[in-house]
Amino acid sequence: MVVFYSAAFGLGGPLFVSIGTVVLPIFAVSGGIGGCLVFSNDRLKGVLEYLVAYGVSPRRLLFNALAVGLIQVTLILGAGVAAGLTTYLLSGYQLTVRLPEVLLVYTFPMSYLTVSLMTTIGVFWTALSSPRAGLNSPIGVLPMIGVLPTGAALILALTLGRYASQILLGAELVIFVIVLSLLSRTDRLMPTERLLSPG
């Protein structure tokens, strides 16, 4: 399936590179867990309450969690792309325009967008739920939320191979709009009283 998809992108090259480029956004969602985990732990331990008392806004706390997620994704992408490119070149293939294009159109934006979506939903969900630790918190199902948009877009792109790029760009646009729309509702979805420690 993945090979078929890469063929649709015209990547060619070693299978490792083709698969890696396609599945990297799915692995990248693990980076989004970090931001939500820090947020959830800090809430349980009263760190968020402390920060709010000293004037840190809920919006800033959300953006901090997003920043943690995006930094972790950058590390995952950096390692993944470096390993992929090294393999590609060591295998004797010439770097074509197609590979950077796929990275720029699909791999990078899809990874960053799905992690942004996942972190935003995760933080709001955590804030709106009763304080719970670890996997009992919404963090337990967050990876599914992260994988879902990429998986759906990939399946659709595979089914309609000719329009793969357009489908993926469309999916990225939809995710971007959802993320922006959620961020604009921060004050309503994350009032300060939802950031307080239990008790």
Partner 1 sequence: MESGYRNKPVLHDFSFTIHEPSVYVVLGPNGAGKTTLFRTIAGILRPTSGEVLIDGMPAGQQTSRDQLHYLSHMDGIPDGLTVRESLDYYARVERATSADVERVLDQLQIREFSGTFISRLSAGQRKRVSVARIFLRERKIYLLDEPTISLDPKVAREIRSLILELSRDKIVLYSSHNLFEAREIGRYVLAIRSGELALFDRIENLRSSRYVVGVRALEPSDALSEFAREGDYYLRELPGPEAVPAFLRELESRGVKIRELREMGNPLEDLFT
- Give contact residues for partner 1 (rule: CB under 8 A): 38, 41-42, 45-47, 49-56, 191-193, 196-197, 199
Return the structure tokens found at 87. Answer: 């393999």
In the complex, least distance from residue 197 CB atom to partner 1, rounded to whole angstroms: 4
Residue 40 or residue 114: which is nearer to partner 1 going by CB? Answer: 40
Residue 148 or residue 196: which is nearer to partner 1 going by CB? Answer: 196
Helix/strand/coil percentages in the chain, nearest 5: 85, 0, 15
The two counts, helices (H) then strands (E), for the chain are: 9, 0
In the complex, least distance from residue 199 CB atom to partner 1, rounded to whole angstroms: 6
Residue 4 or residue 50: which is nearer to partner 1 going by CB? Answer: 50
Count of positions (residues) in the chain:
199
Is the Cβ–Cβ distance between 142 and 118 less than 8 Å?
yes
In the complex, least distance from residue 119 CB atom to partner 1, rounded to whole angstroms: 18
What DSSP state is assigned to residue 192? G
* Phi–psi pair at 14, nearest 5 degrees: -65, 150
In the complex, least distance from residue 118 CB atom to partner 1, rounded to whole angstroms: 21
Q: How many CB atoms lie within 10 A of CB 12?
A: 14
150, with CB counted inside 10 A (0-12, 13-18, 19+), is buried
> For residue 98, how far is the Cα from the chain centroid?
23
Residue 68 or residue 99: which is nearer to partner 1 going by CB? Answer: 68
In the complex, least distance from residue 61 CB atom to partner 1, rounded to whole angstroms: 12
Residue 144 or residue 185: which is nearer to partner 1 going by CB? Answer: 185
